[in-house]
Amino acid sequence: MTKPSNSDPAPDKLQILVQEGLFYQPQSPKEKPYLIGSRCSLCGYVSFPKLMVCPCCVQINTMEEMHITGKGKIDTFSVCYAALPGFQAPSIQGYINLEEGARIWSLITGVEPSDESLKIGMDVELVIGKLREDAEGNEIISYQFKPVKTDRKG
């Protein structure tokens, strides 16, 4: 599955989404990325990825698709020095409390992978970008979160 890219794709290398239907990748600088989740119209439970049945209400036709803007705070994180074949180590893995109310797992990017780079409660935002390269050099594109840049020093 290929997508045109707003970064510089290497010649004859593809950008491949890690999974279809999970997030929207901006096609121009004017657009914003979002995650594709769902919200229960009865109880308000928010899920990402999207669920067809609410785990609280367990009724049919209560979950509605929802675009999650991708603003949140770090709930917890860990610097991991082990990785599966094809993935970079170290990585920062974490759980993000989204503004919309869900708590989701994500890789955290945009900072040095060390315990000092991040703080619990720090503001983070969604980025869609390269997760890794596959054996053929194609870019696997996924969702990640990065700290929000602030004007404050330190």
Partner 1 sequence: MRDVVIVGVGMTRFGKFLERSLPDLGREAIWKAVGDANIPPKDIQIAYVANSIGYQLTELKGTIGQHVLAAAGFFGIPIINVENACSSGSTALRSACLEVASGNFDVALALGVEKLFCDNTARSSEAMASGTPYAKFGFMFPALYSMNLKKWMEKYGITQRQFAKVAVKNSKNGALNPNAQFRKPLSIDDVLNSRVIAYPLTLYMCSTMGDGAAAAIVCTRDKARKYTTKPLVEVAACELVSGTVTIPNQPHEPLEARAARLAYQKAGVGPEDVDVAEVHDGMAPAELMLYEELGLCREGEGGRMIDEGLTEITGKIPVNPSGGLAAKGHPVGATGLAQIAEIVWQLRGEAGERQVNDPKVGLTENAGGWVIDDNAACAVTILKK
Q: Which residues contact 115 (CB under 8 A, 6 or more apart)?
A: 79
54 binds Zn ion (CB under 5 A): yes
- Residue 33 and residue 126 in contact, taking contact as beta carbons nearer than 8 Å: yes
What is the 8-class DSSP label of residue 41?
T
DSSP-derived secondary structure for 58-85 = --TT-EEEEEE--EEEEEEEEEE----T
Q: Could you tell me whether strands 63-68 and 46-47 are parallel, antiparallel, or unpaired per DSSP bridges?
A: unpaired
Q: How far is the CB of 71 from Zn ion (least distance, A)?
A: 23
Closer Cβ to partner 1, 34 or 91, answer by number: 91
56 binds partner 1 (CB under 8 A): yes
Q: Hey, what are 37's tokens? A: 């989740």
- Binder of partner 1 out of 8, 20, 30, 81 (CB under 8 A): 81
Closer Cβ to Zn ion, 54 or 92, answer by number: 54
- Binder of Zn ion out of 23, 34, 45, 48 (CB under 5 A): 45
Which region among 2-10, 31-39, 63-71, 90-98 touches partner 1 (by CB under 8 A)?
90-98
56 binds Zn ion (CB under 5 A): yes
Alpha-carbon 150 to chain mean position: 20
Per CB under 5 A, residues contacting Zn ion are: 40, 42-43, 45, 54, 56-57
